[in-house]
Structure 1
Amino acid sequence: MNIASVRRPIVPPSPPRAPDDMSFFGRLAVIRQNMIATWGQRAYEEEIIQGRFFLRKSFILNRPDAIRHVLLSNYENYTRTPAGIRMLRPVLGEGLLIAEGHAWTFQRRTLAPAFTPRATANLVPHMTAVLDETIAKLDAQTGEAVNLRELMQRMTLEIAGRTMFSFGMDRHGPTLRNFVTEYGERLGRPYFLDMLLPVSWPTPMDRARARFRRRWTEFVAMLIAERRAAGKKDGAPPQDLFDLMDQARDPETGKGFSDAQLVDEVATMILAGHETTATALFWALYLLALDPDTQEEVASETRSEHLDSIADIDRQKFTRAVIDETMRLYPPAFLIARAARDKDDVAGIAVGKGDVIMIAPWLLHRHEELWDQPNAFIPKRFMSTEAPDRFAYLPFGAGPRVCIGAPFAQAESVLALARLIGAFRVELVDANPVIPCGVVTTQPDHSPMFRITRR
Structure 2
Amino acid sequence: MNIASVRRPIIPPTPPRAPDDMSFFGRVAVLKQNMIATWGQRAYEEEVIKGRFFLHNSFILNQPDAIRHVLLSNYENYTRTPAGIRMLRPVLGEGVLIAEGHAWAHQRRTLAPAFTPRATANLVPHMTAVLDETITKLDARTSEPVDLRETMQRMTLEIAGRTMFSFGMDRHGPTLRNFVMEYGARLGRPYFLDMLLPVSWPTPMDFARARFRKRWTEFVAMLIAERRTMGKKDGAPPRDLFDLMDAARDPETGKGFSDAQLVDEVATMILAGHETTATALFWALYLLALDPETQEEVASETHGEHLDSMADIDRQKFTRAVIEETMRLYPPAFLVARAAREKDNAAGVEIGKGDIIMIAPWLLHRHEKLWDQPNAFIPKRFMSKEAPDRFAYLPFGAGPRVCIGAPFAQAESVLALARLIGAFRIELADRVPVIPLGVVTTQPDHSPLFRITRR
Q: TM-score range by the shorter chain?
A: over 0.9
Residue 304 (structure 1) shift: 3.5
Matched letter for residue 60 of structure 2 = I
Residue 56 (structure 1) shift: 1.7
Instruction: Give CA deviations for 1:255-283 in whole Å, capped at 9, x if unaligned.
Output: 00000000000000000000000000000
The answer to whether the Cα contact below 8 Å between 1:45 and 1:367 also exists between their aligned partners in 2 is yes
The answer to whether the Cα contact below 8 Å between 2:69 and 2:75 also exists between their aligned partners in 1 is yes
Q: Work out whether 1:115 is the aligned partner of 2:115.
A: yes
CA–CA distance in 1 between the matches of 2:230 and 2:207?
Answer: 35
CA–CA distance in 2 between the matches of 1:114 and 1:245?
Answer: 7
Instruction: Give CA deviations for 1:219-243 in whole Å, capped at 9, x if unaligned.
Output: 0000000000011222110000000
Q: Work out whether 1:348 is the aligned partner of 2:348.
A: yes
Aligned to 1:409: 409
Aligned to 2:76: 76
Aligned to 1:175: 175
Aligned to 2:157: 157
Q: Work out whether 1:365 is the aligned partner of 2:365.
A: yes
Aligned to 1:48: 48
Written as runs of structure 1 = structure 2, the 5 A alignment for 1:262-341 is: 262-341=262-341
Matched letter for residue 111 of structure 2 = L
Matched letter for residue 436 of structure 1 = P
Instruction: Give CA deviations for 1:37-94 in whole Å, capped at 9, x if unaligned.
Output: 0000000000000001232210000000000000000000000000000000000000
CA–CA distance in 2 between the matches of 1:346 and 1:221?
Answer: 42
Residue 144 (structure 1) shift: 1.1
Instruction: Give CA deviations for 1:384-431 in whole Å, capped at 9, x if unaligned.
Output: 000000000000000000000000000000000000000000000000
CA–CA distance in 1 between the matches of 2:251 and 2:260?
Answer: 20
CA–CA distance in 2 between the matches of 1:385 and 1:321?
Answer: 13
CA–CA distance in 1 between the matches of 2:13 and 2:356?
Answer: 30
SS in 1 for 2:121: helix
CA–CA distance in 1 between the matches of 2:183 and 2:323?
Answer: 27
Written as runs of structure 1 = structure 2, the 5 A alignment for 1:390-401 is: 390-401=390-401
The answer to whether the Cα contact below 8 Å between 1:62 and 1:359 also exists between their aligned partners in 2 is yes
Aligned to 1:29: 29
CA–CA distance in 1 between the matches of 2:143 and 2:431?
Answer: 17
Matched letter for residue 380 of structure 2 = K
Matched letter for residue 298 of structure 1 = V
Instruction: Give CA deviations for 1:195-234 in whole Å, capped at 9, x if unaligned.
Output: 0000000011000000000000000000000000011222
SS in 2 for 1:146: coil
Instruction: Give CA deviations for 1:106-156 in whole Å, capped at 9, x if unaligned.
Output: 000000000000000000000000000000000000131000000000000
CA–CA distance in 2 between the matches of 1:64 and 1:401?
Answer: 17
Matched letter for residue 307 of structure 1 = L
SS in 2 for 1:425: strand
Matched letter for residue 8 of structure 2 = R
Matched letter for residue 315 of structure 1 = R
Count of residue pairs the alignment pairs up: 455
In structure 2, runs of 5+ residues without a counterpart are: none
Aligned to 2:225: 225
SS in 1 for 2:199: coil
Residue 36 (structure 1) shift: 0.2
Written as runs of structure 1 = structure 2, the 5 A alignment for 1:120-131 is: 120-131=120-131
Instruction: Give CA deviations for 1:161-193 in whole Å, capped at 9, x if unaligned.
Output: 000000000000000000000000000001110
Written as runs of structure 1 = structure 2, the 5 A alignment for 1:441-452 is: 441-452=441-452
The answer to whether the Cα contact below 8 Å between 1:305 and 1:312 also exists between their aligned partners in 2 is no
Matched letter for residue 47 of structure 1 = E
Matched letter for residue 454 of structure 1 = R
The answer to whether the Cα contact below 8 Å between 1:87 and 1:190 also exists between their aligned partners in 2 is yes
SS in 2 for 1:43: helix
Aligned to 1:132: 132
CA–CA distance in 1 between the matches of 2:258 and 2:188?
Answer: 27
Aligned to 1:385: 385
Aligned to 2:104: 104
Aligned to 1:39: 39
SS in 2 for 1:7: coil
CA–CA distance in 2 between the matches of 1:54 and 1:303?
Answer: 57
CA–CA distance in 2 between the matches of 1:78 and 1:67?
Answer: 12
Matched letter for residue 340 of structure 1 = A
The answer to whether the Cα contact below 8 Å between 2:365 and 2:371 also exists between their aligned partners in 1 is yes
CA–CA distance in 2 between the matches of 1:237 and 1:220?
Answer: 24
Instruction: Give CA deviations for 1:293-343 in whole Å, capped at 9, x if unaligned.
Output: 000000000134321100100000000000000000000000000000000
TM-score (norm 1): 1.00
SS in 1 for 2:426: strand
Residue 363 (structure 1) shift: 0.1
Q: Work out whether 1:212 is the aligned partner of 2:212.
A: yes
The answer to whether the Cα contact below 8 Å between 1:51 and 1:58 also exists between their aligned partners in 2 is yes
User: Share of identical aligned residues, percent?
Assistant: 89
CA–CA distance in 2 between the matches of 1:402 and 1:153?
Answer: 24
The answer to whether the Cα contact below 8 Å between 2:52 and 2:58 also exists between their aligned partners in 1 is yes
CA–CA distance in 2 between the matches of 1:303 and 1:99?
Answer: 44
CA–CA distance in 1 between the matches of 2:399 and 2:359?
Answer: 13
SS in 1 for 2:425: strand
CA–CA distance in 2 between the matches of 1:172 and 1:413?
Answer: 23
The answer to whether the Cα contact below 8 Å between 1:16 and 1:37 also exists between their aligned partners in 2 is yes
CA–CA distance in 1 between the matches of 2:206 and 2:12?
Answer: 37
Residue 347 (structure 1) shift: 2.0
SS in 2 for 1:13: coil
Residue 348 (structure 1) shift: 1.5
SS in 1 for 2:413: helix
The answer to whether the Cα contact below 8 Å between 2:306 and 2:419 also exists between their aligned partners in 1 is no
| Divergent runs of 4+, >3 A | none
Aligned to 1:432: 432
Residue 346 (structure 1) shift: 1.4
Residue 442 (structure 1) shift: 0.1
CA–CA distance in 1 between the matches of 2:379 and 2:156?
Answer: 23
The answer to whether the Cα contact below 8 Å between 1:44 and 1:364 also exists between their aligned partners in 2 is yes
The answer to whether the Cα contact below 8 Å between 2:304 and 2:422 also exists between their aligned partners in 1 is no
CA–CA distance in 2 between the matches of 1:349 and 1:137?
Answer: 54
Aligned to 2:143: 143
